[in-house]
Amino acid sequence: MTWRATALTLFPDMFPGPLGQSLAGRALEQGVWSVEARSLRDYGIGRHRVVDDTPFGGGAGMVMRPDVVSAAIRDVGRAGRPLVYPTPRGRPLRQDDVRRYAAGPGLVLLCGRYEGIDERVLEAEQVEQVSIGDYILSGGEMAALVLLDSCVRLIPGVMGSEASGTEESFSDGLLEYPHYTKPASWEGRDVPDILLSGHHAAIAGWRQTESETATRMRRPDLWAAHLARTGQDTGGPVSLAADPERLH
């Protein structure tokens, strides 16, 4: 069964884009997953195929029309697939969401441009609004590609032996430990001795500590959640100033 993505976009040539390369690209060729990009322009109004108009209430930019967007949505066979609108107004995308999307039949991705999409169509069509981070992209296509990449790598048969679709950094709610390879000494910087020691239990302990330190320093939000999950005291926020050289 092919995992099926449909993108509704004004720029269909942006798909599959980078997902046509590497392991995702090979899986795409093999039919493990598919992506169809449909042009929203095809549903535009009149001879000029207009898709947007000025915002009621005034303000800068243009808003995508609900009649145009709904026509495109209703023309797509959703077949049980979630309809996702990438937008900085969405709830933050988490690995849990990615796992849920990847385990289903696929996704329909609604890619916005301009200031956004008329709110009424988002309500009427039960659109899931998802953000890939607190920064603004020029449109939803790049965010849709990011979201697709995160899903596709979890589909059985895509990653092969390379990482077997494991979720490294987020599977246990901590950031991953740092990695090292040859040469053991490079430009005066040595690989931590313990990794050369052959003591597997000690190495596992060191990696766990490194994971915890990185999470505590860089992601106090994840660290607080980890402490709550493991039943430990949160102890308040941790300042980077405590050891500014420790992490870069």
Q: Which residues bind ligand ADE (CB under 6 A)?
A: 86-88, 131-133, 135-137, 140, 143
Contacts of 60 (CB under 8 A, 6+ apart): 115
Say if residue 122 carries a ligand binding annotation: no
* 189-190 and 185-186 strand pairing: antiparallel
Closest approach, Cβ 139 to ligand ADE, in A, equals: 6
Element (H, E) at 67: helix 66-75
Element (H, E) at 94: none
Q: What are the tokens at 43?
A: 């549903």
Q: How many helices (H) and strands (E) does the chain have?
A: 7, 10
Closest approach, Cβ 142 to ligand ADE, in A, equals: 8
Residue 137 vs 238, nearer CB to ligand ADE: 137
Say if residue 112 carries a ligand binding annotation: yes
Taking the CA of residue 95 as centre, how many other CA atoms within 13 Å lie in the half-sphere pointing to its CB?
A: 14
Q: What is the residue whose two structure tokens read 């987020």?
A: 170
Residue 27 vs 111, nearer CB to ligand ADE: 111
Say if residue 135 carries a ligand binding annotation: yes
Residue 138 vs 230, nearer CB to ligand ADE: 138
Residue 89 vs 100, nearer CB to ligand ADE: 89
Q: Is the peptide bond before 183 cis (omega within 30 degrees of 0)?
A: yes
Q: What are the tokens at 201?
A: 């239990």
Closest approach, Cβ 86 to ligand ADE, in A, equals: 3
Closest approach, Cβ 168 to ligand ADE, in A, equals: 22
Say if residue 67 carries a ligand binding annotation: no
Residue 137 vs 191, nearer CB to ligand ADE: 137
Closest approach, Cβ 14 to ligand ADE, in A, equals: 13
Say if residue 137 carries a ligand binding annotation: yes
Q: Is there a contact between 154 and 99 (Cβ–Cβ < 8 Å)? A: yes
Binding-site residue set for S-adenosyl-L-methionine: 112, 132-137
Binding-site residue set: 112, 132-137
